[in-house]
Amino acid sequence: MGSILKSSSLARALLASVALSASVLLAGCDTDQVSLATNAKANQPVPPKLVAAMAEKDMDLQSPILVRLFKQEAELEVWKQTRSGQFALLKTYPICRWSGDLGPKVREGDRQAPEGFYSINPSQMNPQSAYYLSFNTGYPNAFDKALGRTGSQLMVHGDCSSRGCYAMTDEQIAEIYSLGRESFFGGQKAFQLQAYPFKMTPVNMAKHRTNPNMAFWKMIKEGYDHFEVTRQEPRVDFCEKKYVFDAAKPADAKRDPVFDASAKCPAYVIPEDIASAVREKEERDQAEYNKLVSKGTPVARMNTGIDGGMNKIFASKIPEGSTGLSEGAEGSTLQMLAMSKAPGTIPGTVNPPKPNFEPTAAQEPVVAVAAPAATTRVAAATPAATAPAAAAPAEKSSGGGFFSGIARKMGMGTADTTATTSPPQATASAAPATTSTTPATATSRLKAAVTRFVPGHDKDKPVAAAKPAEPAKPTETKVAATRPALKPSVSNASADAGSSGQMSGAAPVVSSNSFDSRFGAVK
C-alpha cells in the first residue's frame, strides 16, 4: 500500500511540473516561472507522521481544513474534516511570535495582529515568501472596511518575527502550508481562518470583562460558539457593521438574502437546530460567567505596554525570554520547558516580547465597536466575497528587475509587512537602572547573566564597553533564495523518498495569476 501511495504522489507531482512547464513554454520560456513548479519549500509533502494521525482520526489527506488562532494561548490550531463531515482537531502549533495587544487591528502601523473571521483562497498562498513560506490572512475583510480599518499584507509566516503578523518557525509553516495546499487539491475553494484574543471560555471572558474590546469579542464569540456546537465551518456574512453567522433565507423567501457590511441587514433566519444549540451554550456560559464575577475573579491587567506574545515553549529557549501577553510560565516550569525540544528552529535574531514605548502604542488604544443586538446571529461570506483582491500576498525581494517582474506576473507583490528581526528602537529594560540600555543581543544577555550569577563579579564596578549590537538584518535583502531550500518537518518524520521536493497533488490547470496557476489541480 505504501509503495502505491508513493507512486501516486510522485506521479501527481510530475504531472504538475510538466503541465506548468508546458504552459510556461507557450508563454515564452520564463525559467523563473518554471522554478515555481519545483519550489522545494512549497512542495514539501505532508509528513508521514501527520498523515498517520489523519488516518487514525478518519480524515483524508485532501479533505477541507479550518484554522483557529489564539493570542493569549499563543496557539494555532489546524482542524480537518473527517469522513463524517464534521471537523476534528488535527494538530495544535505553538505560535513563535505575535505582535501588538489583545484586540482587533484598527489601523496601518498599529502592530496589531488581526482578530475576526477571514477566508484564505489559493491566491493568498505565497511560495516565494521572504519569511520562508506564508499565506495572507485576507485582512481587512468587509466588516473591517465598513469600520474604516486599514492595514495590509498581514500574514501567517515563518521566521518567528512579527509586526502585525502571526509568526511560526519555518518548520511549522512548512507543515501548515502543505495542509492548506492539499485541501485545495481536494477541492476546497478557501479555508476559514478564525483569529481570537483568547479561547472564548467563561473564565477568559470574566478576566477581561472590563476590556474596551469586550463588545467586539462577544460578537465574534457567537461565531466561535457556532463552530463549537456544530463542528462545521460557520457561514459568515456582514451587515450593519457587524458579523452574521449561518444566515439562511426565510421559509417564504424566493432567493437567498444579499448582505452588505455597511447596509441594513436583509431578512434572514438561523436554522433552528443551530440556533437552539448555540442558545443553550450561551446560557451555560453566561451562568458560569456570572458565578466567576460574583466570586470576584481578578480582572486582567490592561495597557501593560508589552508588545505581543510568544508561546512559553519558545520563551524558555531564549535568554531572558518572556511570553509577554501570552500565557506564561515562571521559575522551575520555564526551566523544565527549556529541556524540551522546540518545534522548529528559532532564529538567533528573534526578539521576545518586551515593553513598547512608541507614542502610538501608548496614546492610541484600540477601541471596540458597539455591542450587537442580542438577537444578532453571525455567518461567513463565500470565499469570493471575503477574500478581497487587496489582500493578495506580497513579499519583500532584493529589488526590482527580471525576477520581480515575473513575481508580479505570478500574482505576487513586493513586500511582506511584518516585523524586522532587529530590536525596537526604544524598549523598556527589566534590568536595574545600572543596566546598559543597548538593545539586548545574545552577547549582552550573556553579560547580564554573568553579572547576576557569577561569584566574585561585582555588578557595581564599571565594565568594559559592550560589543556594539549586531546590525539588523535588512528585510529587503532577505529573500527566499538566501534561505535553506528545505527545513525538517516538525513532525520529526523523514520525507517520503518518492516525493521529495515535489508536492503530492493533481496536475495543475494554468489559469489566472494565482496559486491555481502554480499549484492548481486537474479534476
Query: What is the domain partition of the chain in residue ranges?
Result: 48-295
With 0-12 / 13-18 / 19 or more C-beta atoms within 10 angstroms meaning exposed / middle / buried, residue 389 is: exposed
CATH number of 48-295: 2.40.440.10
Amino acid at 16: A
The closest alpha carbon to 470, from 492, 442, 446, 495, belongs to 442
Q: Are 32 and 402 in contact (CB under 8 A)?
A: yes
497 DSSP 8-state letter? G
**pLDDT for the residue 334:** 65
**Interior CA angle at 218 toward 307 and 200, to 5°?**
65
Please write the tens of the pLDDT for every residue from 11-37.
Answer: 454 444 433 333 333 333 334 444 555
- Type of residue at 450: V
What's the CA angle centered on 118, arms 115 and 120, to 5 degrees?
A: 135
Confidence at residue 342, expressed as pLDDT on a 0 to 100 scale: 85
Sorted by sequence, the CB contacts under 8 Å of residue 427 that are 6+ apart come out as: 354, 355, 356, 357, 439
* H or E element that contains 405: helix 402-409
Q: At CA 250, angle to CA 244 and CA 251, rounded to 5?
A: 150
pLDDT tens by residue, 95-125? 999 999 999 999 999 999 999 999 999 999 9
For residues 91 and 80, is the Cβ–Cβ distance under 8 A?
no
Looking at this protein, which amino acid is placed at residue 241?
K
Residues identified as active-site: 157, 165
- Spatial distance between the Cα atoms of 101 and 417, rounded to a whole number of angstroms: 17
pLDDT digits (tens, 9 = 90+) for 409-462: 444 443 444 433 333 333 333 334 333 344 444 445 444 443 443 344 333 334
Distance CA 249, CA 270 (A): 8
pLDDT at 497: 39
Confidence band, pLDDT 50/70/90 cuts, at residue 354: confident
Statement: the pTM of the whole predicted model exceeds 0.75: no
Give the residue carrying C-alpha cell 494521525: 53
Cell numbers for 406, please give them: 515575473
